[in-house]
Amino acid sequence: MSLAREIRLARMPGDRVSADDFVMAETPLPALQDGDVRVRNMWMSVDPYMRLPLTGRKGVRPGLSVGDPMFGAAVGVVEESRAPAMPAGALVLSQKGWRDRFVAPASDLQALPVSDISPSWYLGVLGLSGMTAYPGVEEVLRPVAGETLFVSAAAGAVGSLACQLARRRGVRVLGSAGSDDKVAWLKDELGLDGAVNYRRQDVGAFLKAECPNGLDCYFDNVGGATLDAALGAMRPGGRIGLCGAISQYNDDNYRAGPADFFTIIEKGLVVTGFNAGLAAPRGPEIAAALIGLLQSGELRWKETVVEGLENAPAAFASLFEGENVGKLIVRI
């Protein structure tokens, strides 16, 4: 019988995710039934949201228990097929990451087009990251020339796209990140007008110095203290797009809101939450727009690649230490 390797939850993470919270296991691969395919994964995604089912709190995603296999997006190639529409050799996108091979009904998988686009991009700019950054900037915040937009986790997957999309609109873009190297990358490579290392500098003081008349827009990827700092710096009537709150994900109370909630009332702020699921019906249209921008060179896409399924747990943990620039993916 043929075996697959998969990563399982070994224990619930504490206040810091660690590679030791996971364990590699072998699992038998079932024989193919009519309509099934066997897939060898090539790339898998590690994403901040994967931390949420590993907390004690209920959310929209079901929680995981110790012993459960991890899940998430992956791109692989069909090795064997009993589904005529998805023959051997086809590239497929699945939610069967964190394992090297699997058997599934072809109807559960999405066939990817054959093109010169790296298949891994379907885990980032043409996947979750793009389906969040694009609507966040182009549909929710819609910043215009003359306005200033601040992006947190600006050197990450979503953040780096949001910064570039806003710059295209002629907007003044500021960002925050957790190292001086990232701050330099944001200014030198992505052309940001200003950036702050939130680990060493006071974000509120930075924003007030950069925007003495108040910040127009904030694209929030981190929540917590940075969201509070941005609230303090917003101009009356300013817009905030809530994308994520990674600074809170290691806390069982990750669903808590900002400490300075009342500022939203005082300043009449427009605060809009959004997510990739809401954008899904427009996925093909958004992907086409992003592909156009990537091909014209108006958008640059950066990946940090970790090699080996066995290193996926450490890669996942490193997201919360800020070790990635751009999208963190694992090559299996």
Ligand X SMILES: NC(=O)c1ccc[n+]([C@@H]2O[C@H](COP(=O)([O-])OP(=O)(O)OC[C@H]3O[C@@H](n4cnc5c(N)ncnc54)[C@H](OP(=O)(O)O)[C@@H]3O)[C@@H](O)[C@H]2O)c1
Q: Does 127 bind ligand X (CB under 6 A)?
A: no
C-beta of 22: minimal distance to ligand X in Å?
Answer: 18
d(CA 142, CA 27) in angstroms, rounded, equals 48
Give burial (CB, 10 Å; 0-12/13-18/19+) of 281.
exposed
Is the CA virtual torsion 112, 118, 123, 127 positive or negative? negative
d(CA 208, CA 231) in angstroms, rounded, equals 11
Q: Which C-beta is closer to ligand X: that of 76 or that of 178?
A: 178
Stretch that binds ligand X, among 8-16, 107-115, 172-180, 257-265 (CB under 6 A): 172-180
Q: Does 177 bind ligand X (CB under 6 A)?
A: yes
Amino acid, res. 108 = D
Binding mask 10-39 for ligand X (x = CB under 6 A): ------------------------------
Q: Which of 157, 183, 317, 332 binds ligand X (CB under 6 A)?
A: 157
Q: Does 317 bind ligand X (CB under 6 A)?
A: no
d(CA 130, CA 35) in angstroms, rounded, equals 31
Q: How many CA atoms, within 13 angstroms, populate the side-chain half-sphere of residue 214?
A: 12
Q: Does 320 bind ligand X (CB under 6 A)?
A: yes
- Quickly list DSSP for 12-60: ---SS--GGGEEEEEEEPPPPPTTEEEEEEEEEE--GGGGGGGSSS--S
Applying the rule CB under 6 A, the residues between 226 and 245 that interact with ligand X are: 243-245
Residue nearest to ligand X (CB): 156
Q: Does 303 bind ligand X (CB under 6 A)?
A: no
Q: Which C-beta is closer to ligand X: that of 102 or that of 185?
A: 185
| Total residues in contact with ligand X, by rule CB under 6 A | 31
Q: Which of 17, 106, 222, 312 binds ligand X (CB under 6 A)?
A: 222
C-beta of 106: minimal distance to ligand X in Å?
Answer: 26
d(CA 167, CA 165) in angstroms, rounded, equals 6
d(CA 95, CA 1) in angstroms, rounded, equals 24
Map residue 146 onto helix, strand or coil. coil
d(CA 244, CA 53) in angstroms, rounded, equals 15
Stretch that binds ligand X, among 5-13, 21-29, 47-55, 284-292 (CB under 6 A): 47-55
Q: Pairing mode, if any, of strands 303-307 and 327-331?
A: parallel
Stretch that binds ligand X, among 18-26, 44-52, 71-79, 229-237 (CB under 6 A): 44-52
C-beta of 104: minimal distance to ligand X in Å?
Answer: 24
Q: Which of 91, 137, 246, 290 binds ligand X (CB under 6 A)?
A: 246
- Which residues of the shown chain bind ligand X in the complex (CB under 6 A)? 47-49, 128-129, 132, 153, 155-159, 177-179, 182, 221-222, 243-247, 275-276, 319-320, 322, 324, 327-328
